């Protein structure tokens, strides 16, 4: 079997819905063995979520399928003595545990880091929550939109005249998951291992807002909404063409000169409003109107091809289906295909992860698991015989 970045690392995934599962999704693609520990009978709530009603009813909702490929599913009733015994036996084989319960839940279950490290001193324990394990807001429940609002993201999204808007996908959950995966990957390099990692979705989002936050902290400028405009330069934003929007980022003087030369409006360089970078920023909306008089002459795709050849950064504004079916996406190997997936009896396509290693995309070889699909395999590995396993099933322990 080919060695991967995290070959030989076993991760217990005790997470639900998105931030935690997305974290473990990244780690699975890096080669870790991820065992998803789920509640008996119900499993991850994401199994009932998604746009396809039939899949949700089959306990294989699209929201679950999206970030659980490559994992194994083990169902355990952790409130039972038998379930606790199974978990403790499994724990000593694990390197990492990831959970995204509200702070205090794992302590009430006697499954918090201080308790578990007595059984596994080298355990890396990662807790993902909305606000972190400490602080005035730590006990509050959190969903992605709550974090987007509290973090200030919504206050800077949209046009100036709009109400505050959320970003169109679960930004906070995803960034929280990536932050956790990064921290776990670093902790795996520590010798000896054994660490408690406290990931706050709110903190994680704020740290990705570097320029916006620093403009306030250092420059004293309160961030506001600018729609599709890049306030650091002009022309830099979205422009109307003959058939759709084109993003243009002519941030350098050379790119600006090439842009207006190719459009046939070199006279704009002699206009005092647009004569230099700072003036163009001040008069950006007037500049946009002037440029669009020329941009509407051709389709966005044609402008994209022409300006790309000239070294001006541009890109057509695409829909999700358009970019997923783009030849570049296929070339990068971003989409994985799984045939005749158990539990749904259909083929599915899923996104992998966003980087290559040694020229190859990260991948897992198995599709998202049915609830409890690996109970037999994992319990046998832990030393339980068939009679005991059958008893566990009868008693609702697994």
Strands 96-99 and 10-14: parallel
Helical (H) or strand (E) element with 195: strand 195-200
Burial group, residue 335, by CB count within 10 angstroms (0-12, 13-18, 19+): middle
104 contact partners, CB below 8 Å, separation of at least 6? 139
User: Which residues 6+ apart lie within 8 Å of 48 measured at CB?
Assistant: 56, 59, 61
* Residue 358, Ramachandran bin (φ over 0: left; ψ between -120 and 50: alpha; else beta): left
Residue 369 is classified by DSSP as: P
Report how many helices (DSSP H) and strands (DSSP E) the chain contains, helices first. 18, 13
Residue 173 bears catalytic tag: yes
Looking at the DSSP assignment, which residues form a beta bridge with residue 340?
A: none
Using CA atoms, how far residue 247 sits from 241, 274, 288, in Å, is: 10, 19, 12
Q: Annotated catalytic residue: which of 44, 144, 173, 203?
A: 173
Cα–Cα distance, 206 to 209 (Å, whole number) = 5
Contact 95, 187 (CB under 8 A): no
Interhelix angle 253-263/300-310, nearest 10 degrees: 130
Tell which residue, 79, 56, 77, 75, has the closest CA to residue 66: 56
Whole-angstrom distance, CA of residue 153 vs CA of residue 291: 30
Which residues are known catalytic residues?
Answer: 173
């Amino acid at each position: 079997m080919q060695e991967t970045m995290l070959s030989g690392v076993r991760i217990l995934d005790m997470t639900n819905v998105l931030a935690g599962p997305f974290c473990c999704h990244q780690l699975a693609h890096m080669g870790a063995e991820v065992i998803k520990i789920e509640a008996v009978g119900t499993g991850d709530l994401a199994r009932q979520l998604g746009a396809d009603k039939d899949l949700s009813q089959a306990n294989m909702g699209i929201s679950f399928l999206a970030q659980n490929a490559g994992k194994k599913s083990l169902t355990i009733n952790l409130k039972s003595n038998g379930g606790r015994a199974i978990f403790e036996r499994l724990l000593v084989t694990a390197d990492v545990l990831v959970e995204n319960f509200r702070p205090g839940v794992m302590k009430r279950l006697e499954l918090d880091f201080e308790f578990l490290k007595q059984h596994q001193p080298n355990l890396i324990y990662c807790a993902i929550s909305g606000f972190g394990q400490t602080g005035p807001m730590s006990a509050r429940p959190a969903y992605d939109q709550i974090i987007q609002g509290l973090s200030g993201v919504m206050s800077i999204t949209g046009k100036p005249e709009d109400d505050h808007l959320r970003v169109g996908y679960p930004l906070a959950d995803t960034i929280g998951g990536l932050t956790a995966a990064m921290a776990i990957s670093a902790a795996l390099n520590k010798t000896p291992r054994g660490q408690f990692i406290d990931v706050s979705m709110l903190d994680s989002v704020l740290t990705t807002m570097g320029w916006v936050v620093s403009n306030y902290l250092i420059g004293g400028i309160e961030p506001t909404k600018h729609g599709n405009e890049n306030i650091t330069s002009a022309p830099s934003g979205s422009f109307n063409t003959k058939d759709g929007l084109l993003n243009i980022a002519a941030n350098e003087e050379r790119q600006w000169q090439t842009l207006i030369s190719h459009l046939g409006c070199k006279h704009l360089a002699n206009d005092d409003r647009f004569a230099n970078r700072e003036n163009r920023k001040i008069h950006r909306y007037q500049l946009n109107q002037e440029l669009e008089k020329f941009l509407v002459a051709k389709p966005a795709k044609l402008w994209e091809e022409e300006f790309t050849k000239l070294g001006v950064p541009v890109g057509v504004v695409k829909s999700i289906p358009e970019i997923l079916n783009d030849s570049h996406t296929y070339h990068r190997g971003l989409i994985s295909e799984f045939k005749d997936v158990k539990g749904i009896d259909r083929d599915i396509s899923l996104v992998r992860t966003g980087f290559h290693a040694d020229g190859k995309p990260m991948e897992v070889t198995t599709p998202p698991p049915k609830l409890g699909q690996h109970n037999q395999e994992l319990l046998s590995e832990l030393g339980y015989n068939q009679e005991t396993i059958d008893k566990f099933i009868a008693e609702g322990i697994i």
